[in-house]
Amino acid sequence: MTISPGDNALVFEAHFWVRMRRIMDRRIIESDIRHRIDSFFDEAGIVIAFPQRDVHFDAAAPIAVRLLKAADENDNADSQNDGRQSDND
């Protein structure tokens, strides 16, 4: 088993050998092993925290928010050039 640091985790790599009758059995076996490891962690009270991202706006005034109704693809083609909206929106 090897360990390498991830951006928000320690990444473990486990190697195992099994005999398979079908190639699709590999995915099922890998999934079963991951679920079993997760259940071992759960039984031991180990919780894997998922990273959370917060976005903070540093604005002197409130940020204007608009809701736009969905348009037909042909009607919206001009307003989506390079991600910019036209003055008509």
Q: Is residue 89 part of a domain?
A: no
In a domain, 21, yes or no: yes
Which is more confidently placed, 14 or 43? 43
Domain membership of residue 48 (yes or no) is: yes
pLDDT of 35: 92
Distance of CA 56 to the CA centre of its chain: 20
Domain hosting residue 36, numbered range: 1-66
For residue range 43-88, what is the model confidence (pLDDT) as tens digits?
Answer: 999 887 777 778 888 788 888 889 998 877 665 555 555 555 555 5
How many domains would you assign to the chain? Answer: 1
Q: 57 CB contacts (<8 Å, ≥6 apart)?
A: 63
Burial class (CB in 10 A: 0-12, 13-18, 19+), 79: middle
84 occurs within a structural domain: no
The half-sphere exposure of 71 on its side-chain side, counting CA atoms within 13 A, is 13
In a domain, 44, yes or no: yes
Domain assignment present for residue 4? The answer is yes
Please indicate, yes or no, if residue 79 is contained in any of the structural domains.
no
